Structure 1
């Protein structure tokens, strides 16, 4: 009886192995068919290329084929091999586990087949730099798992399919084609790369959410709307709406005539009453005039010296004045600034919104009539002379780095010190991590890029301003602003207020001060390194620096000391599958920065170099995966 069971089991295994081998053979034959049509019947000269019936795609490692541990083909990449045939989608989509498909930089012609939509597991599709033509099939919008789509530098025409349906799309490159029609309303809050330049698109540009500038849209003469300089013409209403609007116009016209008659009648009555009053109150007329003049002067003086309290204006005012009571207009426009000519009086009169207030000053958003928006930092109680302040601002202005926000202008008097910046509408790093922007996708790659960019910017500023002794003095995530290119910028560099124990400034939501034993010297730069280390901890943990007695640096030290290092990292990073080794490496950099001994901390240049190595390693891994 046991022998019968063993015999039955053996037969089952043989059948199972035969079925498995048949499936493998089917995929291999499909690959060979795909290859023959792609190469137009030619074969590679190099015998090591593989792709023949006598070998296996996975175990024999065919060129361009990547398999997972279960011998399932997950990637086909035949790039820059001068293929000049056509794309056989029926064959390539036989591979049920295919996630990455790349045939870029060849000479493949013809149209993209409708059947390519059957590759349902595709996450990366690269067909750029070929000779494809014709319209894209609408079925491509059913590739729901697609994250990166490269179509650029072909001869595609027609309208784009509704790729906006693909919610997870992060890269869409379709430049240098002949596409026409309107641009689909992509989810631009998720897109990291987008380019449709040099096509024949027309109509209004969809709302880009400030993520991309005009370089992504150039070469489309019929496109209009921001960020392009060409405004869209007003759309003409339908006939029914036009007839309705004409009726409304007639009614308004008749109402206008009636109102004019009433105004004329009221004016006559007013003149009669005024003439009568004038006769009766000649004796009191001079007194009344004097009171009106006094009231007018008081009102004008009040509006000139500060902002009116009300919904449209904040309590932001600058009471700087000379001995004669005339407001000073010594607003210094920095030489390298592209800001328009601006006077101190214009700054006073423009509506201002309070963004943040701290012990040593406040930050305001100031909006002008031409829709120019500036950020104004107001510092108080800083005992620095006007001459020293001016020299300091001019020295900082001479040092420019893409990741350091430059000042556009400044004002200095005995009572007030103001610094004017370009307003950054995307908010701060603090908001991306903890506040109003925290719901946005802020994955490991984005955080590592922020860390690398900030490290380079800080190291550059330290190197250029070391001899002048000008450090940042108040580096924290709320002082890291995100510009229109979604790049981090260090703001308020060199605007520090010194007391006996700490360097501080305006706080917009988090608070930490580096202990400063002296108001100058190398220790100031080491304090910047400490605070940069705390920012790295924020990026890694996603936690606030200080809240309800919790101190981030102390907590991280305690967790690492107990050898629970993985517990430190933000759960969102763990969930996305971020590389733990590289996160640990960045954590080690942060721990070096927050060493209690300033002498033991690395320099900002050493920190930047360490983060750069981690990022290069991360970039290489991304390239190898795709």
Structure 2
């Protein structure tokens, strides 16, 4: 079946939990789930393909371009529990007998072109919890679905007629909008003692006087109730406005996950765009439903850890104050998404709409260098810090080669450096400085990474990246934040502090006390300190190029935990420096 996104399906690799979008049972012998939303499938589903998966429980082919009728051979999928076929071009009638799928729990066939009537056999699905048939061309009356387990329905925007069954009157009327249906009303109960139609009741003066008294009492009672109701609504209105203000503040503070922050009424054409080679099989709807937790607030927005229903974990960055339009945003994302390097965290997908801009990355379980150094305080030995430094340098060097050698990261800081599976530093959040609003003055930790010219002009250049890289090196060497406070609440700027200590020739005082436990590294630490100081000089044209920095760091030492050269044989080991890190700093290009 034709599709626009590449899948890693081939006969040489085992199917069991290795093929994109395919999940097998515990023994690996049967396929129980196929999830391929938004991968560009188009055309009819071939017969005798999916229908052979008799153990299938979950089928998600939503947000594709699948056409034709509902596959007749799906009747073989007797174990099917979850069926997601929304946002396709399927047409024709729905299956007459839904009872063959007795385990169906969720059915979503919305936003297709199905026609004819809604099958009454749906009433036999005793496990059914959600049924969405909205935005089709279904006609006829709505069948009586007296299913106690049914929690969600949507029949809106079809061609349905008649009276909504009593069993469905518990759902909001908005779920039936866009149809020609009416809601059954309970007729008034006739009085057992009433006179025949048209015959007046006999009256008397006493009863008339009594009636007037009762009427006056009713009027007074209604007035009192009206006043009470008015006061009640005023109080509720004020409370609701206050709650809305709190809600808005939480949203601005990042207290909401993406599934609540992104409107569910976004234009269907605004979908996640995945880059070639990405094996993820989820779409925007998956992100909206997934559980999420805030990882942190950065210069350009909030980052969330999102766990999808198939246990896939990604990072979603929600951008704020994007200063460019959709076309320029997409062009920049295309450049960022095309960069492939071991030390650059790949952009997997992005989303753009009028109100939201999202970026999707892999999740790195070890966290950022900032969190390791300052939050979890995970011990980092010298080898680990050197690998982070050389990986970060290589990543920035690769970024600077893009766009004819003029590409700028613009936001280098330890919270944007992550540790990859080989324990080397990898750079994230690249290319945002050109599409976001100007950086505001700040005394926060992030301000400590900004080069003087960025503070003055709010514009980052490649030498600015070098300055920020130098600050991260100082952070690795000292274990201190770029801007931090002392016990007396004095604000300390890391670069200035290191300059003052070195100027007083107290160089040993600079280094993280954690590093004093490791022998024979003093010389290497001093070399790295000298490299860092060349990066943070005030004049941009006096800073080295990042490619030269890669070579300088590669020449400092080699990571050889089993055969580390001691301080006595450093001269011998220096002859092998080109083999230590690899001769070509760009050799990790994929």
TM-score (norm 2): 0.50
TM-score (norm 1): 0.47
Which has the larger helix fraction? 1
Which structure ranks higher in relative contact order (CA pairs < 8 Å, sequence separation ≥ 6)?
A: 2
